[in-house]
Amino acid sequence: MKRTLAAAVGAALLGLSGAACAINDLEANASIPFNFSNPGARSLGMGGAFVGLADDATAAYTNPAGLAQLRQAEIAIEGRHTAFSTPFVNGGNLTTQPSFSTAGLDIRDADSSTNNLSYLSFVLPRERWAFSLYRHEVSNFDSYFRLDDALTFDGLPLFSTESSIDLKIINWGAAAAFRASDRVSLGLGVSRYDFDIYSNTGRFFPQRPLRVQTALQYGSDNGLGWNLGARFGLSSSLSLGVSYRHAPRFYYAASVTNLSNGITPLPQPDRQYFSDRIRFDVPDVWAAGLSWRPSDNLVVNFDVDRVMYSELTDGISTFFDPVAASRLRLDDGTEYHLGAEYTFSSMQHPFSLRGGLWHDPRHAIRFEGIPPANATDFVSLEELFASQYAGSRGAEMHYAIGGGWAFSRFQLDFAADLSDGIDTFSMSGVYRF
């Protein structure tokens, strides 16, 4: 008779390591989009292409060298609404004979949304210097999903799950820019990041309504980061920007608890497996951008960003099986951003129309390769991981549109960035004095 997954999971938990390792293999992490976008409705409306232009208060985070272009003190604020469509495995059948296949899995989307104060800053320019203080929400994500039907293994019911996760990362920063010459500006920023995570995953077995296992992630931490930037005026109409942003690593706790309820088939009921040194690395980013102004009314921007996503899964922690967990990957990705802004300067209050698009590389955890078909009488953890992470979203295109009005002391901007997985709507205001 085939054994259920319970025995495999319960036995694997005995090998839990307490070492400090990267993000763990609990299935709740399959839903995190790991998308850390730049601030600002103006930048968002141009598809995030802003490193070479960097001429407003959001440059403190994106490319601090751009702050040297500002001539008036200003206060900037941005609010965002973000809608997430997160794929998850909603049951279905995992086939292992005669060969492994996830084609029978039911992949659905869990919809959620957040509203937040995304960016707040103050910039004080001087003759050759500029200084900025800011608050930026790097990530604000929540999701909930529940398997309507139990996952089956070659037709044998295994388990069903219910999972929720909340993740928030806030950056409090200070930046300074120095105009070394009419064509060269340099910038430096330092910041404190605050991190909070909480997830709760329950596992249930077929025909047994009570929860028999609970997996939790929880914790708050903080750390220091920094960013560097430079901006070069190549000609009267062309500028080049480069930047590097280094973010800290955080540590949090996670646990898996077997609950007896008098019915559990787990080999060690009422036992908890715990680690308080799970590591979460916010990816570092290298960026370069060109900004071309063919006329006084039009500017075209192109950025290339290299995002070090692999930092999140290098040395992944495990509650189950080191071999299976080592095959969970999050690859580094390259983003390509193209955007433009056209300003109708003849209007009493000039209006700017913006548009852009950008390629968003895959940044959801995946199982690498295909596990060998299991010829024994129970599902292997490699096969389980391959199924649990089969629904993660791949690379996709984002399309952006936006606009803004400029008044004597005030500017109002709005934008939308749309894709299959994430839709972001932004409104921001700038007051200059």
Check: CB of residue 380 under 8 Å from CB of residue 8: yes
135-178 residue pLDDT tens:
999 988 888 887 766 777 777 777 778 888 899 999 999 999 99
Report the C-alpha gap between 323 and 337 in whole angstroms.
37
Question: Which pLDDT value is given to residue 206?
Answer: 62
416, burial (CB in 10 Å: exposed 0-12, middle 13-18, buried 19+): middle
Q: Determine the residue type at 35.
A: N
The tokens of 30 are what? Answer: 């399959």
Is residue 261 very low, low, confident or very high in pLDDT (cuts 50, 70, 90)? low
Nearest CA to 189 among 257, 266, 132? 132
Question: Which pLDDT value is given to residue 379?
Answer: 66
Question: Global pTM?
Answer: 0.88
Question: Which pLDDT value is given to residue 148?
Answer: 66
Question: Which pLDDT value is given to residue 373?
Answer: 65
The residue among 337 and 106 whose pLDDT is bigger is 337
Question: Which pLDDT value is given to residue 18?
Answer: 40
77-115 residue pLDDT tens:
999 999 988 887 777 787 877 777 878 888 888 888 899
Domain range holding 113?
Answer: 5-432
Burial 46-72 (b: 16+ CB within 10 A, else e): bbbbbbbbbbbbbbbbbbbbbbbbbee
Residues in the chain: 433
Question: Which pLDDT value is given to residue 256?
Answer: 85
Domains in the chain: how many in total?
1
Question: Which pLDDT value is given to residue 16?
Answer: 41
283-308 residue pLDDT tens:
999 999 999 999 999 999 999 999 99
Q: Whole-number mean pLDDT of the chain?
A: 85
> Average pLDDT, stretch 327-342?
92
Neighbours of 89 (CB within 10 A): 23
Picking from 183-197, 313-327, 386-400, which range would have the lowest pLDDT averaged per residue? Answer: 313-327
Question: Which pLDDT value is given to residue 168?
Answer: 94
> Average pLDDT, stretch 49-72?
96
User: What CATH number corresponds to the domain at position 296?
Assistant: 2.40.160.60
Question: Which pLDDT value is given to residue 311?
Answer: 86
> Average pLDDT, stretch 195-218?
81
Q: Chain centroid to CA 54: how far?
A: 22
Question: Which pLDDT value is given to residue 10?
Answer: 44
Check: CB of residue 360 under 8 Å from CB of residue 398: yes
305-320 residue pLDDT tens:
999 988 888 878 777 7
The residue among 9 and 134 whose pLDDT is bigger is 134
Report the C-alpha gap between 57 and 59 in whole angstroms.
5
